[in-house]
């Protein structure tokens, strides 16, 4: 299964991603790196450095 993990470069997101990879899933991590770290991204994942922001005027 393809899985998208938001906040994937943080502690919880990276641990969840590692478990999903071990279970055979294809994992994409999405993080703006404001609190996460690029070094935390597990090997075998696709990493998207981006921010999801909704602005209301």
**Single pTM value for the model:** 0.83
Domain boundaries, the chain: 2-49
**Contact predicate 1/25, CB 8 Å:** yes
Query: Does residue 9 sit in helix, strand or coil?
Result: coil
Query: Residue 40: exposed, middle, or buried by beta-carbon count in 10 A (0-12, 13-18, 19+)?
Result: middle
- Residue whose token pair is 């602005």: 55
**Contact predicate 20/5, CB 8 Å:** yes
What are the average pLDDT values for consecutive 10-residue runs of the chain, which has 57 residues?
A: 96 96 97 91 94 75
């Amino acid at each position: 299964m393809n899985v998208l993990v938001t906040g994937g470069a943080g502690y919880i997101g990276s641990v969840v991603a590692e478990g999903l990879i071990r279970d055979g899933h294809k994992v994409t991590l999405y993080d703006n790196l404001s609190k996460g770290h690029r070094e935390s991204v597990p090997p075998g994942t696709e990493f998207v450095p981006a921010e999801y922001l909704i602005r209301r005027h």
